[in-house]
Amino acid sequence: MQRHTPTAQVKAKAVAAVAPSPVAASRHSSQATMQTPVNMSFSLNDSSFSTTPATPGKATPNNELERVQEEFERIIESNKETANAKALSPKEKEHWWEARREVDDHMCDLIKDMEQKLLGHWKVLLVAPPTDELLCSCFTEGAVKLAERWGKRCKRAVDCVLVECCMYGYRWLTPTQLKSVVTDVLGLRVPVSGAELVVLEQETDKVRTVHADCLRKVAEREKRPLASSASADAERQPLILILDKQLQALPWESTAILAEHPVSRMPSLPFVTRLAQRLAAQCGDQARQQPQKDIVRDGVDTRRAFYVLDPANNLQKTRAKFEPIFRDRYGWDGIAGEKPTPEQFKNALECHDLVVYCGHGTGEQYLAGSAVQQLRRCGVALLMGCSSGSLAAQGDFEPTGMPLHYIIAGCPGVVGNLWDVTDGDADLLTEDLLEKWTGGSDPQRAVPLLARALAAARHACKLRYLIGAAAVCYGVPVHVRQKRRV
């Protein structure tokens, strides 16, 4: 059963925009402390960042994006056509799984194309700095030296931030992609030949040398061996994607370069800053009213949670699975097998740190988006129904959807699905997400950051891309409150 719903200009370090319509990213600390983000953007249509001149009949960023979008729509349609497994014989169920795995493979291939053909070598702009301060500082030092060297070589200023991104994402670049980055930063003419080809080889080797030196310095200071893949394997700081209406439906979080790291979405930079201001104001109000901990400063208290489980009373397996988990293991209050009133849903969101919704759609049928926007306070919301994280196209205007109603209400984090999902795999993801985020029976094993726990939980799905990639997080970095052992 399904849950259904009827031009290369670098200005700073915190945000990256990838066109033909911008993708943007903002980096923040894992404790959800908000800093004013600055913008770093480039355009795939900007010839100064293209290593291959446009030729008739050859794919360009625009028609490549159109091809990806068309293929994505076909996959989503196939997902709907093959979703129903009700009343199948064992043999039919076997064929059904074959069909579902085939669609999952198509989604996997599409996500690879998104990274390799749409982002290309500039995918490194979406690599957040490592949380390891020593590793991060070494990469920064190396980037400064490279920027100074390249500035002298090409007789113009080279932005250190761009070089720093190259250092962070070095292990994700193929040799050809690394050369493309160096070609663009140095402003070499394409195709590179003659003396410039010698320069390209020298400077590409220099990047490799500087990256290896950074890892060696860290290993020496920490007195431990460090693998050459350490920069790729390192835990990263949170990343916020700001995606325009052409790109927001695609599962960027599941591209290889982002898949294992904390990524959330916001509709614009003003939304980020306004949400930060609202959360800070709430924090101040709470501090004046009562000297107790709050969700912004200290994280989500998972003891203050509420669940709305199978409100339509037709997801029996989901209810049988989660009711004892929510009620007995976590000790949460909630509603199961019955429809919540608007007042109940409103109170759950305003009075709890966390609300988990396991039902059809977004839950808008129980509390309208306009009512959500009016909440005086809103806890973190896990909306695990079909298309609960999708935004509907509005022609020339920006898309709208339930996640934005929650963000407007001041919700620090919303998890939802970009498209329709089947309940079996969605339940596996939900269970694993809560287990990882809270630590389950051992809170010391918790993955405190919600977006990082979600990235790990996607692997729990049998269909890693068709179902796992659908789950995304909106909002700012939000963490669970760490519990001390008694």
- Catalytic residue annotation: 386
User: Could you tell me the sign of the dihedral formed by the alpha carbons of 9, 12, 18, 24, in that order?
Assistant: negative
> Helix or strand or coil: residue 299?
coil
User: Could you tell me the sign of the dihedral formed by the alpha carbons of 54, 59, 64, 66, in that order?
Assistant: positive
Give me 256's structure tokens.
Answer: 């290889």
Judge whether 446 and 485 are in contact, CB under 8 Å: no
Q: Which of 405, 411, 413, 381 is nearest to 477 (CA)?
A: 413
What's the CA gap between 370 and 400, in Å, rounded?
A: 12
Judge whether 438 and 330 are in contact, CB under 8 Å: yes
What's the CA gap between 95 and 97, in Å, rounded?
A: 5
Residues in the chain: 486
What's the CA gap between 249 and 392, in Å, rounded?
A: 9
CA 33 → CA 28, 101, 125, 410, 450, distances in Å? 7, 41, 22, 15, 15
Judge whether 219 and 226 are in contact, CB under 8 Å: yes
| 93 HSE (CA, 13 A, CB side) | 5
Q: Which of 372, 382, 378 is nearest to 402 (CA)?
A: 372
Q: Which of 115, 104, 375 is nearest to 254 (CA)?
A: 115
**If residue 239 lies in a helix (H) or strand (E), which one and from where to where?**
strand 239-243
Reply yes or no: is the peptide bond before residue 448 cis, omega within 30 of 0. no
State in Å, rounded, how far the first CA of the chain is from the last one. 43
Distant-in-sequence contacts of 84-92, Cβ < 8 A, 24+ apart: 84/1, 84/2, 85/422, 86/1
> What would the DSSP string read from start to end of 165-227?
HHHHTGGGS-HHHHHHHHHHHHT--SS--HHHHHHHHHHHHHHHHHHHHHHHHHHHHHTS---
| 209 HSE (CA, 13 A, CB side) | 8
Judge whether 382 and 432 are in contact, CB under 8 Å: no
> Helix or strand or coil: residue 333?
strand
Which residue bears the tokens 């700012």?
476
> Helix or strand or coil: residue 141?
helix
